[in-house]
Structure 1
Amino acid sequence: MSHFKSRFVMASACSIVASTLAGEETGSLPDFSRRDHPLEVDGGTVHAWEVALEVNDSLERVSSPVVLFLHGGTWSGRPDFDLQFEDYSTMESFARKGWDTFAVDARGYGQSTNPEGENWSEAADVVKDLRVVVERICELRSVEEVSLVGWSWGSQVAALFAQEHPELVSRVVLYGTRWQPLEYEYELPDERLRISTLEDAKSDFVEGCFDPKLVDVYARAAIAADPDSPNGVFRDYYANLPLIDPEKLLAPTLVIAGEHEASHSIGDMSALFEALPSTDKQLAVIPGGGHAVHLEKGRYRWRSTVLAFLDESPGR
């Protein structure tokens, strides 16, 4: 990536922050429709949660371009992306900007069926379910493709899906991602599920980067939605990396992370960015942000950076 393009991405983020703040913190708030879409997939049920501006009561309405959020390895889509506290709902924020937003819960997360048999909710397992979900969303919204925003382990799902089903993907955002194998070894888990705690839910937040009230609210919401979570994420990180083959990821791609990214190396993300073949790609680092910057003080800059990238989609 050239130095000029690095500066351009960061300058673009800065120029949009003021208008984003004004638009989200003042004036009358719009009405949102929220719908749960339970889909039968290969013997189980996978839930997709939708947040959009209220237009009418028709489920089959033709709507805005679609962005699909993919959660990380411990918590499901609603606490991650539609947290009902002040202005912290990422899905509401994107819906205000003209996007029809969905968040899908992998098996074992949220209200979706627990994985069984050979399915541990590894990224490859989720991609199989996700094709059915994306095709159904395209049918509901009369679109041919969606944009994907994957956070943490969800970025592995997003990239793998975009590699295998490029015809269904417009743009990809890899947020807090990891490409290359870890430098240390772990023992693979024997249990399919693990129990989570309030402290686990607070662990992604970097001191000084967040509102303490938010972290308490988020932790309670996360535990309520996901008292336990599948261990497929650890099988991916400990044994399956690299899942992403940059040469096969042809969609326009944004690689983005907080400055204090704790879970993954900024250097690893830079190497992934350089390996992507697309000429339409960006690498962005959000100053003062951690692994969960979309829920921290830097969320406005994160939102404006991601939205600016997604808004370059055809038809926007």
Structure 2
Amino acid sequence: MPTNKTRIGPKLKQEDDLLIRETLLRVEPRVDLYLCEKWLEQASIPATTLPVILLHGAGMDSTGFDVPVGNTSLADALARQGSHTFAFDFRGHGRSSRAANGLDVTIESSITDTLAVLDYVQEITGARQFILVGVSYGSIVSSVVAERYPERIAGIVLLGFIYKTTGTPLEDSFAEAALAPAGYAFTTEEEWPELFIPTASPEVTAWHQAQFGTAYAYPVGPYLQVKGLPHARHPERYQGRVLVVTGELDPLATASDVADYLQAVGTPEAKKQHLRQNNVGHMPYVEAQAQQVQQAINEFIAITNAEVQ
């Protein structure tokens, strides 16, 4: 719940009339979470529209959902269709409080952060259910939150979903990450397009390189959490709607893992969907078929909203 130490910024308007508000949510005495809202204020939007919470990947932060080039801002695409979106930075990332040791940023600490955001969003909107959209590490956190608190989650969108395994061996990378000073590491600019966004446009690739390249220190704790897969251990407890989006060039997410998860989750078959894209890597929402992903998520949100009304 927000405290008197939470700092809520003014409501501002973008040139396209989307409203935006930034908040530093105090969740612990020494932990603030950065939160950015986007929404379109229209009388035609039902009051029952479910808030959409965006969970970023390891080595990134919430700005990755609002890429200002190439028509790849997922936050804008969802807000324009009536969603009240909330993108936040896990502790240790972006503009949220830094952890003294990046190894202390884990799945459990990120679940704690997510629940604090859900409580805050519930307080300011009155909503009791939410839609989670997670990418990579954020997709792992989303799936665990959904199975632990199924009554609060109406739908989950899992982008570049990692479930039981990864599509490529990571032992050498794990060993290197474990030696990072104070648990923080850097991604070189050259790694971004090759590993994660191989089919993004040059302008989108350049933006990611500038945003998350050599000057961006990220906690290695979330990265090392991959060694503990699967974190979603009781998917049968979740029965809400599920959309998984993966790409054939993804070095981490595998089609067989997605099939296993969709088989295990308690969601009725008619409410499960896997969008597998050709010529796409680990971050489909900013790559060659980003508009198809935006459309699929917006359709998913519309159907989920209709079901809970």
Superposition TM-score tier, normalisation by shorter sequence: 0.7 to 0.9
SS at match of 2:138: helix
**Separation in 2, partners of 1:297, 1:118:** 33
Check 1:199–1:67 CA distance in 2 against 1; reply closer, same or farther (3 A cut): same
TM-superposed deviation, 1:122: 1.2
Residue 74 of structure 1: aligned partner: 59
Moved more, 254-263 or 179-188: 179-188
TM-superposed deviation, 1:250: 2.7
Matching of residue 107 in structure 1 with residue 91 in structure 2 = yes
Residue 16 of structure 1: aligned partner: none
SS at match of 1:166: coil
TM-superposed deviation, 1:172: 0.5
**Separation in 2, partners of 1:276, 1:64:** 25
Answer whether contact 2:134 2:142 (CA < 8 A) is retained. yes
TM-superposed deviation, 1:112: 0.5
Check 1:123–1:35 CA distance in 2 against 1; reply closer, same or farther (3 A cut): same
TM-superposed deviation, 1:185: 6.4
Q: Deviations over 1:61-101 (max 9, x none)?
A: x68431111101111011x1111124221110111111011
SS at match of 2:281: coil
TM-superposed deviation, 1:206: 5.1
Residue 159 of structure 1: aligned partner: 143
Check 1:163–1:256 CA distance in 2 against 1; reply closer, same or farther (3 A cut): same
SS at match of 1:283: strand
SS at match of 2:185: strand
Residue 59 of structure 1: aligned partner: none
Residue 201 of structure 1: aligned partner: 192
Q: Which amino acid aligns with 2:250?
A: E
**Aligned residues between the structures:** 279
Check 1:255–1:86 CA distance in 2 against 1; reply closer, same or farther (3 A cut): closer
Q: Which amino acid aligns with 1:162?
A: A
Residue 264 of structure 1: aligned partner: 253
Identity %: 23
Residue 164 of structure 2: aligned partner: 180
Gaps of 5+ in 1: 1-28, 57-61
SS at match of 2:104: coil
Residue 17 of structure 2: aligned partner: 31
- Equivalent of 1:308 in 296, 299, 302: 299
Q: Which amino acid aligns with 1:275?
A: A
- Equivalent of 1:221 in 195, 211, 216: 211
Residue 22 of structure 1: aligned partner: none
Answer whether contact 2:196 2:250 (CA < 8 A) is retained. no
SS at match of 2:285: helix
TM-score, with normalisation over the residues of structure 1?
0.81
SS at match of 1:84: coil
Q: Deviations over 1:24-70 (max 9, x none)?
A: xxxxx7311221111111231111111112569xxxxx684311111
SS at match of 2:303: coil
Which aligned pairs between 1:56-71 and structure 2 lie closer than 5 A?
Answer: 64-71=49-56
Answer whether contact 1:65 1:98 (CA < 8 A) is retained. no
Q: Which amino acid aligns with 1:282?
A: Q
Detail structure 1 runs of 4+ shifted over 4 Å in the superposition: 182-185
Residue 38 of structure 2: aligned partner: 51
**Separation in 1, partners of 2:246, 2:56:** 15
Check 1:184–1:93 CA distance in 2 against 1; reply closer, same or farther (3 A cut): closer
Matching of residue 94 in structure 1 with residue 82 in structure 2 = no
**Separation in 2, partners of 1:306, 1:273:** 17
Answer whether contact 1:252 1:278 (CA < 8 A) is retained. yes
TM-superposed deviation, 1:235: 2.3
Answer whether contact 1:254 1:283 (CA < 8 A) is retained. yes
**Separation in 1, partners of 2:278, 2:194:** 19
**Separation in 2, partners of 1:122, 1:146:** 22
**Separation in 2, partners of 1:281, 1:190:** 40
Q: Which amino acid aligns with 1:123?
A: I
Gaps of 5+ in 2: 1-14
TM-score, with normalisation over the residues of structure 2?
0.82
SS at match of 2:209: helix
Residue 244 of structure 1: aligned partner: 232
Q: Which amino acid aligns with 2:218?
A: S
Matching of residue 281 in structure 1 with residue 272 in structure 2 = yes
Residue 8 of structure 1: aligned partner: none
Residue 17 of structure 1: aligned partner: none
Give the aligned CA root-mean-square deviation in angstroms: 2.4
